[in-house]
Amino acid sequence: VPGNYRTQLWDKQSESFLPSTPGLGMHVEVKDPDGKVVLSRQYGSEGRFTFTSHTPGEHQICLHSNSTRMALFAGGKLRVHLDIQVGEHTNNYPEIAAKDKLTELQLRARQLLDQVEQIQKEQNYQR
């Protein structure tokens, strides 16, 4: 599962959120449904993380700021933009096509099969 995030700090003078300074870091921790830590790593003010879990179910993703010395905790605000891709959206289809030497039609068939599989998984989950 790939995830991207970026942070913004509240600027009192301009009264808007501005990109965070490079000094701000984030700790990303991911736990599987059994509470086992799948990922625990320090990143910068924006970054990309990936994890693989072999346990189906709800995962917990926690992002913690590593800095209490910044104005963040003195009445400041921190905005975090988080984008997570799951299921067939995690596949890089142009890379798959190049590696497996697939035609456009074969690649589209692969995408449709992946989508059908995700629909079946979602239906089984809902049941």
**pLDDT of amino acid 75:** 59
**pLDDT of amino acid 70:** 54
Residue ranges of domains in the chain: 1-82, 92-126
Q: What are phi and psi of 45, to 5 degrees?
A: -70, -20
**pLDDT of amino acid 31:** 92
Name, in order, each residue with C-beta under 8 angstroms of 103's C-beta and a sequence gap of 6 or more. Answer: none
**pLDDT of amino acid 29:** 92
Q: Per-residue pLDDT for the chain (127 aa), expressed as one digit of tens each?
A: 788 888 888 777 888 888 877 777 888 999 989 999 999 988 888 888 888 877 878 889 998 887 655 544 555 678 888 888 765 555 667 777 777 777 888 878 888 888 888 888 878 877 7
